[in-house]
């Protein structure tokens, strides 16, 4: 029932169902079920926070409580998922240091679990954390690893996101040539997968960079003409 209400975006009602499920798990001494319930509750409060501005901070803090409980009960896979969720929420709360720390822990546990998908998710979030902190060297290294893992896993849309983010990072670093190359690669992939949203994003960014390059070239020509 909780999943059904989630699909209907009635997260307050789904939360009530997950609480009932948690109570049953407690009576049956089902630790695996309880860990799942805590994860679902954390997600429900997170989605409530995204759905409504009213009570947003309170719902995010409730989400933190349940994801921490999931972290404490979970195996390596569960801990990786919980730390990723915690990192996302701390990022939303503006605590980038705690967000990054949790994404690092998520990567550590994903490696322990031998789960390459979760490794990709964690290292991708570390790349985004680097961008948020304007640490573009770290962001680029993490996003390049994210690109490598998503390519190996055949996760096409995630790979496109990696290429577009790398284009953004290279642009911020003043590396226009690499930025255009990343955006072109993302565009080619988006065209092949018929992802219209990513096609639009890539085309816009390529246009901006090429436009800026042409403007800079023109200004250099004008300056050279006046210098004669």
Contact of 80 with 113, CB cutoff 8 Å: yes
Of 101, 99, 117, 108, nearest to 80 (Cα)?
108
Number of separate helices (H) and strands (E) present in the chain: 11, 0
pLDDT tens track for 180-223: 999 999 999 999 999 999 999 999 999 999 887 666 655 555 56
The two tokens of residue 123 are 């290292």
The two tokens of residue 87 are 């990192």
Helical segments of 114-175, H only: 116-132, 136-153, 156-172
Rounded Cα distance between 199 and 201, Å, is 6
pLDDT tens track for 2-12: 788 787 788 88
Q: What is the DSSP letter of 52?
A: -
What's the distance, CA 49 to chain centroid? 17
What's the pLDDT score for residue 220? 59
Rounded Cα distance between 183 and 213, Å, is 15
What's the pLDDT score for residue 99? 97
Each residue's pLDDT, cut to its tens digit, for the chain (228 residues) gives 778 878 778 888 898 999 999 999 999 999 999 999 999 999 999 999 999 888 899 999 999 999 999 999 999 999 999 999 999 999 999 999 999 999 999 999 999 999 999 999 999 999 999 999 999 999 999 999 999 999 999 999 999 999 999 999 999 999 999 999 999 999 999 999 999 999 999 999 999 998 876 666 555 555 655 555
Contact of 47 with 11, CB cutoff 8 Å: yes
Contact of 165 with 202, CB cutoff 8 Å: no
* CA neighbours closer than 13 Å in the CB half-sphere of residue 186: 30
Neighbour count for residue 208 (Cβ, 10 Å): 13
166 — phi, psi (to 5°)? -65, -35
What's the pLDDT score for residue 227? 57
């Amino acid at each position: 029932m909780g999943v059904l209400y989630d699909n209907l975006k009635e997260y307050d009602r789904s939360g009530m169902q997950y609480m009932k499920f948690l109570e049953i798990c407690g009576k049956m001494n089902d630790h695996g079920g309880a860990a799942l319930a805590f994860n679902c509750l954390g997600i429900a409060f997170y989605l409530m926070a995204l759905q409504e501005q009213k009570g947003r901070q309170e719902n995010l803090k409730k989400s933190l409580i349940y994801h921490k409980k999931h972290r404490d009960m979970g195996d390596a896979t569960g801990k990786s998922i919980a730390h990723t969720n915690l990192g996302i929420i701390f990022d939303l709360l503006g605590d980038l240091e705690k967000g990054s720390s949790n994404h690092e822990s998520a990567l550590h546990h994903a490696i322990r679990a031998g789960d390459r998908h979760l490794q990709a998710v964690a290292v991708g979030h570390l790349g985004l954390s680097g961008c948020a902190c304007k640490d573009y060297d770290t962001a680029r290294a993490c996003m390049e690893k994210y690109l490598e893992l998503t390519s190996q896993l055949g996760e096409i849309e995630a790979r496109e996101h990696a290429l577009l983010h790398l284009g953004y990072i290279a642009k911020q670093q003043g590396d226009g040539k690499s930025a255009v190359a990343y955006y072109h690669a993302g565009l080619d992939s988006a065209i092949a997968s018929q992802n219209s949203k990513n096609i639009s994003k890539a085309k816009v960014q390529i246009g901006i960079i090429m436009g800026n390059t042409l403007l800079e070239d023109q200004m250099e020509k004008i300056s050279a003409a006046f210098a004669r």
